[in-house]
Amino acid sequence: MNWNKFLPCILLTTVLGACSGKGEQPNVEPTALCLTDSLLRIVSVDTVHVQEVIDELTLNGRVTFNENQVAHVYPMFGGTVTELKAEIGDYVRKGDVLAVIRSGEVADYEKQLKEAEQQLLLARRNMDATQDMYNSGMASDKDVLQAKQELTSAEAEERRIKEVFSIYNFSGNAYYQLKSPVSGFIVEKQISRDMQLRPDQSEELFTISGLSDVWVMADVYESDISKVSEGASVRISTLAYPDKMFAGTIDKVYHLLNSESKTMNVRIKLKNEEYLLKPGMFTNVSVKCKADGTSMPRIDSHALVFEGGKNYVVVVEPDQRLQVKEVDVYKQLSKECYIRSGLSEGDRVLNNNVLLVYNALNAD
């Protein structure tokens, strides 16, 4: 039910019903209102508590990759890109083929493998022949030992080249495959079909990152460095999701100043299971930090009514009568504010639909 629609009727009933018991004539001003059961259905009441003042520092930040989840893929050998199987934004699993490259260097390894296999075949035949000759007394122990060493070397060479084939994902006919070393999203790509790769290529072809966790890097100006610390609670907002807040804590403070911007970086790790946060997004980071040990009454920011350059609240008196009271605001944050004067510990104030009640109390 839309209670705002029926609020004037409820307020009128409250006024006419007054604040006293049955059979007694009310001795109140005509516009006095009381907190009745009907009114409680559309407003809420908070009790004021004196608490240590918490300051809120707003920082500029940006979403970045979690560097512990980033993998860079480089070419192993020079050659020509014949197939491209992944694009920016694609999700790939560990072991998925990203690209296929034809390389002269791979062809050399294939030639070496054939030669190693031939050498191994010859070494085995030689070993068998030498062993037969030794059994018939026609070969010495030295001949047998030498044949064994040649066989061992041939076996080792074949294993070495096969390991190279396995490590670099050779697929035959001078081709090798670039495979993803981790599961994640393709976030950067510096490769295209038919591209020629140099043997000394030093730039990564793919950058892959998992996005289930991201970092938010925020800039702290030199004058605010003393206000932030590891473990401080933060709330993060973005342009993409204006109605959504991301909560976290500062998990690392970089105790260095950027020589150009004169700012210090702090890092916040965030869970990003729905992949809402994209690397490169700009953010506003609100950091809660203690002020100077001062304690003041704290109320919900929704309890304030600002009019004519002054701040007001609607107070519930002990006899349930509602009264407008001016307050002096020391600091107002996004969700709460601290009151320098006008309220005390234990006072009760409205914090929902306050403006409607305020207008009713101030009606002519």
pLDDT band at residue 364 under the 50/70/90 scheme:
low
- Pseudo-torsion of CA 227, 232, 233, 236, nearest 10°? 60
pLDDT at 3 over 50: no
What is the C-alpha to C-alpha distance for residues 180 and 175, in angstroms, rounded to an integer?
17
Q: Looking at domain 39-53+294-362, which of 1.10.1240.10, 1.10.3720.10, 2.60.40.2140, 2.40.420.20 is its CATH number?
A: 2.40.420.20
Output the six-digit token pair for 364.
């002519």
Answer yes or no: CATH 1.10.3470 is held by domain 104-173: no
Direct distance between the N- and C-terminal alpha carbons of the chain, in angstroms, rounded to an integer: 28
Mean of pLDDT over the chain: 87
Domain 58-67+210-288 in CATH 2.40.30.170: yes
Per-residue pLDDT tens digits for 161-215:
999 999 888 988 999 999 999 889 998 999 999 999 987 778 899 999 988 899 9
Amino acid occupying residue 163: E
pLDDT at 19: 59
Q: Give just the sign of the alpha carbon dihedral 235, 237, 242, 246.
A: negative
Contact 230, 244 (CB under 8 A): no
Local confidence band at 363 (pLDDT 50, 70, 90 cut-offs): confident
More confident residue, 331 or 234: 234
Taking only the tens place, the pLDDT of each residue in 123-173 is 999 999 999 998 998 989 999 999 999 999 999 999 999 999 998 889 889
Report pLDDT digits (tens) over 9-22.
445 444 434 454 44
**Best CA proximity match to 215, nearest among 68, 60, 72, 56:** 68
Work out the pLDDT band at 25, boundaries 50, 70, 90: very low
More confident: 102 or 9? 102
Domain boundaries, the chain: 39-53+294-362, 58-67+210-288, 104-173
pLDDT at 262 > cutoff 70: yes
What's the pLDDT score for residue 341?
A: 92
Q: Which tens digits make up the pLDDT trace of 79-92?
A: 999 999 999 989 99
Torsion of CA 27, 30, 35, 41, to 10 degrees: 150
What angle separates helix 104-135 from helix 141-167, to the nearest 10 degrees? 160
Structure tokens at 29: 């001003």
Centre a 10 Å sphere on the Cβ of residue 78 and count the other Cβ atoms it contains.
Answer: 16
Q: What average pLDDT does the segment 85-100 reach?
A: 93
Q: Say yes or no to pLDDT of 292 above 90.
A: no
